[in-house]
A and B are shown apart, each in its own frame.
Chain A
Amino acid sequence: DRPFTTSRDDLGNEFIECEYNRDGKSYRSSFTNKYLPEIESSFFPSEDLRNIEIYFNELLQVYKKRYYDEDAIANAYFWNTEDENFAVAVCIKSTVIDQQALDEELEKKDHKTSGEWYSISVVSCNIETDDEWSYQCFTTAYLKMNTENCSSNEIKENMDINGFNTIEITKSKELDTVRPIESHTQNIGKIVEECENKIRNQTLETFITRMKDTTDEL
């Protein structure tokens, strides 16, 4: 019940396997542009689109380090839709294990927490005029968190929260036709960042604040 899995490609890069880079039972690495396991496939981005994919994924790694950490995995998969239009799925996975609580009192117990975050932002990019494009971003964030307490006099406690929530933003932006690769990357990057920031706060609100209020009601 996880939204996607990860694997390693021929160059040793860890990449995300999801619906958007799948053909049959094989998945395409955004690093090598090859399917694993190897198959004859016609599902590849066009040459122009592949150039955007390469550039965007490079900058995505910087985005990943700034908002997540080195161990997080981030991939963007592009595909052509109609005419010049295209879409991209930006997938990110982040995990935390055994985060020790900073609270002094909780340290007395054997206290373990862990968490998993998966976000998928699908951005639909459609031309409006020569230098204006519309970007529609649907972001889904899946979150799973668990804490376990085990204190000395045989008290065992376990708490598990998991689920998902969604958000959507649509914006029209100018495209610099002299530098389309950089320009699309910037436009897509900004809208994904905006969606992820909003959904991060929405997730915190839903998962923690609302759930806590609900539990208190019982």
Chain B
Amino acid sequence: HNDLGGGRFTDPRSKQSFKYDHLRKEASEYQTWEPDTGMETMRAAIEAGVTEYCLQHYRHGVSSTFSKKTEDGPTIVACIEDHQFQPKNYWNGRWRSQWTVAMSGNQAEVTGVLKVQVHYYEDGNVQLVSSKEVKETISLGNEAEVAKELVRIMEDAETEYQTGISENYQTMSETTFKALRRQLPVTRTKIDWNKITSYSIGKELKST
């Protein structure tokens, strides 16, 4: 959303653009840059709301809010990212959410895309990949109201998503996993290999 081309990106918060080296993960060649003035008050209001929300709900999350003109009209996009790398505990994980506010007349369509990825690699290798998409329509009042409404939607959806993931883990372990392999046979005891005989024991069995 903030790609200027030629390896340069914008940061509306500090009103700068910069060159980014993906290999070295370094930013350089800062220049001043002005975001779209028509949407700036709205973008700034939303940015303030999202930044505050991010501080409250994420351990070390980072957020950015961009404005852009699309074929559907003026749009504001807020992105949040948080991750943890814990190689000593054999895991790493990342959370990403992207909230798009597409404004049209006195209404806006809010779309949220939330993504979680976790990788755990002790005694093996396990990956979780999860996503959720949310859509809601809000009416456009003044900037402060819109920002407040958006943050409310974000909080509800992201909290519900987190709870949903927990519930899904629960469901998977209680139903899906159990259906794949029982802990013990229905008899509640391990198999007596001596006792079980087959119904059509190998007719070709030759005596040794």
Q: Which A residues form the contact surface with B (CB < 8 A)?
A: 47-48, 51, 54-55, 58-59, 61-63, 66-68, 94-96, 99-103, 106, 113-117, 143, 145, 147, 149, 153-167, 180-182, 185-186, 189-190, 193, 196-197, 200-204, 206-208, 210-212, 214-218
| CB atoms of B118 and A215 under 8 A apart | yes
**Is B23 at the interface (CB under 8 A from chain A)?**
no
| CB atoms of B185 and A67 under 8 A apart | yes
**Which of B93, B166, B175, B204 neighbours the largest number of chain A CB atoms within 10 Å of its CB?**
B175
25 contacts between A and B (CB under 8 A): A51-B205, A61-B198, A66-B186, A66-B187, A67-B184, A67-B185, A68-B181, A94-B180, A96-B180, A100-B175, A101-B171, A157-B133, A163-B124, A163-B127, A164-B126, A165-B126, A166-B124, A200-B181, A204-B177, A206-B123, A206-B124, A214-B91, A217-B84, A218-B82, A218-B118
Digitize B106-134: 1 where CB-to-A-CB distance is under 8 Å, 0 elsewhere.
00000000001010101111111111111
Residue of B nearest to A208 (CB): B173
| CB atoms of B171 and A103 under 8 A apart | yes
| CB atoms of B193 and A106 under 8 A apart | no
Which 4 pairs from chain A and chain B are nearest by CB? A165-B124, A163-B126, A58-B198, A66-B185
| CB atoms of A147 and B182 under 8 A apart | no
| CB atoms of A117 and B126 under 8 A apart | no
Count of B interface residues, CB-CB < 8 Å: 63
**Is B95 at the interface (CB under 8 A from chain A)?**
yes
**Is B172 at the interface (CB under 8 A from chain A)?**
yes
| CB atoms of B177 and A115 under 8 A apart | yes
Consensus secondary structure, chain B interface? mixed
**Is B161 at the interface (CB under 8 A from chain A)?**
yes
In the bound assembly, the distance between CA atoms of A167 and B167 in angstroms comes to 28
In the bound assembly, the distance between CA atoms of A24 and B208 in angstroms comes to 31
Residue of A nearest to B204 (CB): A54
In the bound assembly, the distance between CA atoms of A56 and B85 in angstroms comes to 46
| CB atoms of A162 and B173 under 8 A apart | no
Digitize B178-208: 1 where CB-to-A-CB distance is under 8 Å, 0 elsewhere.
0111111111001101101110111011101
- B169 cross-chain contacts in A, Cβ below 8 A: 208, 211-212, 215
Digitize B35-56: 1 where CB-to-A-CB distance is under 8 Å, 0 elsewhere.
0000000000000000000000
Residue of A nearest to B172 (CB): A145
- A96 cross-chain contacts in B, Cβ below 8 A: 176, 179-180
| CB atoms of B193 and A185 under 8 A apart | yes
**Is B165 at the interface (CB under 8 A from chain A)?**
yes
| CB atoms of B182 and A186 under 8 A apart | no
| CB atoms of B171 and A197 under 8 A apart | no
In the bound assembly, the distance between CA atoms of A155 and B120 in angstroms comes to 28
- B130 cross-chain contacts in A, Cβ below 8 A: 157-160
| CB atoms of A201 and B183 under 8 A apart | yes
- A48 cross-chain contacts in B, Cβ below 8 A: 208
In the bound assembly, the distance between CA atoms of A153 and B174 in angstroms comes to 27
Q: Nearest-CB distance from B71 to chain A (Å)?
A: 21
Residue of B nearest to A216 (CB): B166
| CB atoms of A106 and B124 under 8 A apart | no
| CB atoms of B172 and A113 under 8 A apart | yes
| CB atoms of B123 and A202 under 8 A apart | yes
| CB atoms of B190 and A214 under 8 A apart | no
Q: Quick one: given A62-B198, A117-B180, are A55 and B126 in contact (CB under 8 Å)?
A: no
| CB atoms of A155 and B133 under 8 A apart | yes
Q: Quick one: given A59-B193, A157-B164, A159-B165, are A68 and B182 in contact (CB under 8 Å)?
A: yes
In the bound assembly, the distance between CA atoms of A114 and B136 in angstroms comes to 29
Q: Quick one: given A66-B185, A159-B168, A163-B125, are A58 and B175 in contact (CB under 8 Å)?
A: no
**Is B135 at the interface (CB under 8 A from chain A)?**
yes
In the bound assembly, the distance between CA atoms of A61 and B173 in angstroms comes to 25
Q: Nearest-CB distance from B159 to chain A (Å)?
A: 13
Q: Quick one: given A66-B191, A96-B179, A201-B183, are A58 and B200 in contact (CB under 8 Å)?
A: yes
